[in-house]
Amino acid sequence: MAKKLMVFTDCHIPVMNPVAIEIFKKTVSHIKPDISVSLGDLLDCGQFSQHPPTFGVPETDYEGDLRLANELIDYVQANTSERTILIEGNHEYRLDRWAAQHTEGRGAYNMLAPRIQLMKNRKRCTYIPYGSTDGRYPHYKINSRIIAVHGWSYAVNADRRHLQMSQGRSVLFGHTHRLSLVCHQSIYGGDTIRAVNCGCLCNPVPLYGTGRPVEWTNGFLIGYLGRHSDTLFPVDIKGNFAILPDGFGIVA
């Protein structure tokens, strides 16, 4: 029997979309996945950004943001039977950069770092750091045919860039907040390989984009992993409603 996969990305807590999060959580409890993967930027970590605060976005307490992120992971884990994967994004990595530049940051790192605070007392959970010490792109191997990354490109053609860089395997990525899918046959055996971005779970049009349309889409991905092949279904959230691959409708 195929294993069930749930993938979500770019919640950017505390600027997540509460409606999108609710639909995602209801889907997790409906699907009961074997494997769940967060592709990164679960936390926004705006408190550690070198950029000034976004105009109009209220500043929040980092400890409160961590609590919300842990509550979401707790929910996902409670409904996931085998393993949960947390891939670090560039926003969580903000804290590493901040700690490297400030003496107080180095001293408080263990009390603040997402890679530590999101993994406390967790079993059946793997954390993939954003930075690389060996010069290779960090990623998680879901199976022999699919890898998961936060994102190697933000370009307009990011999906094709990811497909070129994934070395003959399908790749699931986030980072761009755009729902996209591109595929072609593998030169290694005739299988179809895909680069898929399932969108994001944050507010789709942030205040700094007011008056400037963006292509951001709320969504997530449901997959079925077989012994020899896989099927991947990006699910886009339309307002407060989403239709799953099995025809079941989810309402926030």
Burial class, 105, CB count within 10 angstroms (exposed 0-12 / middle 13-18 / buried 19+): middle
Tell me the pLDDT band of 211, cut-offs 50, 70 and 90: low
Least confident of 98-102, 148-152, 217-221: 98-102
Mention every residue, 6+ apart, whose C-beta is less than 8 A from residue 148.
7, 37, 39, 85, 87, 139, 140, 142, 171, 172, 173
Q: What is the mean pLDDT of residues 71-85?
A: 98
* Per-residue confidence band for 237, with pLDDT thresholds at 50, 70 and 90: very high
Q: What is the pLDDT of residue 184?
A: 83
- The pLDDT value recorded for residue 107 is 76
Question: Is the model's pLDDT at 208 over the cut of 60?
Answer: no
Over residues 173-188, mean pLDDT: 87
The CATH number given to 3-138+210-251 is: 3.60.21.40
* Mean pLDDT, rounded, for 66-71: 98
- DSSP lists the bridge partners of residue 4 as 224
What is the DSSP code string of 13-47? BTSB-HHHHHHHHHHHHHH--SEEEE-S-SB--GG
Across 203-207, average pLDDT: 72
pLDDT digits (tens, 9 = 90+) for 11-25: 999 999 999 999 999
CB 184 within 8 A of CB 192: yes
**Higher per-residue pLDDT: 207 or 159:** 159
Computed over every residue of the chain, the mean pLDDT equals 90
Residue 87's H or E segment, with its range, is strand 83-87
| 133 close to 108: Cβ distance less than 8 angstroms | no
**What's the confidence (pLDDT) of residue 219?**
98
Q: What is the pTM of this model?
A: 0.93
- Domain map (residue ranges) of the chain: 3-138+210-251
More confident residue, 74 or 210: 74
What tens digit of pLDDT does each residue of 94-146 get?
988 888 887 776 778 888 999 999 999 999 999 999 976 666 778 999 999 99
Q: Tokens 């209801």 belong to which residue?
A: 26
Report yes or no: 13 and 42 within 8 Å, Cβ to Cβ: yes
- Check pLDDT > 60 for residue 207: no
Per-residue pLDDT reduced to its tens digit, 37-46: 999 999 999 8
Structure tokens at 183: 């595929």
pLDDT at residue 1 is higher than 60? yes
**141-147 own/partner pairs: CB under 8 Å, 24+ apart:** 142/5, 142/35, 142/37, 142/172, 142/225, 143/225, 143/230, 144/169, 145/169, 145/170, 145/191, 145/193, 145/229, 145/230, 146/170, 146/171, 146/172, 146/223, 146/225, 146/230, 146/232, 147/171, 147/172
Per-residue pLDDT at 185: 77
